[in-house]
Amino acid sequence: MRGKHIVIGVCGSIAAYKAATLIRIFIKAEAEVKVVMTESACSFITPLTLSTLSKNPVIFSLTDNETGMWHNHVELALWADIIVIAPATAQSISKFAHGGCDDMLSALYLSAKCPVFIAPAMDLDMWAHPASQSNINLLKSYGNFIIHPGTGDLASGLKGEGRLAEPEEISSTLQSWFDNHIR
């Protein structure tokens, strides 16, 4: 992944803490990493943590609150060789599937010309719900790649499918894509 430009999108899920490990894996592989968070993701892990690990400012709103400057989602989308959204919540997946655009991450997604990998994380009933599965199928039909959630203990205390794939699995999936697609 040396020299590749990777944007990590982080949504508001208890699994957001795994984004820190994912960033470390990409940085160790000598990729350049930028992070976009939803505002709700900031409740689970701080932008400071992800900024420190990525060595880049984290963007979590369409404008900089201090300067009023606009964060250019189009420029960031063009910079990216690949976008990975991990964790992707049911809410964000629905927005992406239906063209909703009310935050920096959804604006980035809609502007992407590079491959987009989406790693869902949600409770098992949310994952299994026909609306979620319909949204996943829509995203696949648009050419997105889905990194299937794992099975195990969930934050709700239930056990089943819906937990975010492990960072190593996500990284391996992206590395395989890079190995098979010379850019």
pLDDT given for residue 169 in this prediction: 97
Predicted local confidence at residue 182, as pLDDT: 64
In the chain (183 residues long), the average pLDDT of successive 10-residue segments reads 95 96 97 96 96 93 68 83 97 96 93 97 96 98 97 89 96 94 67
And the tokens for 44? 């689970």
Per-residue burial over 101-135, b if 16 or more Cβ lie within 10 Å, else e, is bebbbbbbbebbeebbbbbbbbbbebbeeeebeeb
pTM of the model: 0.93
User: What pLDDT, on the 0 to 100 scale, is given for residue 73?
Assistant: 77
- How far apart (Å, rounded) are the C-alpha atoms in residues 34 and 67? 20
Sequential DSSP letters for 115-128: -EEEEE---HHHHH
Please work out, in degrees rounded to the nearest 5, the angle formed at the alpha carbon of residue 30 by the alpha carbons of 28 and 36: 85
pLDDT for the residue numbered 71? 66
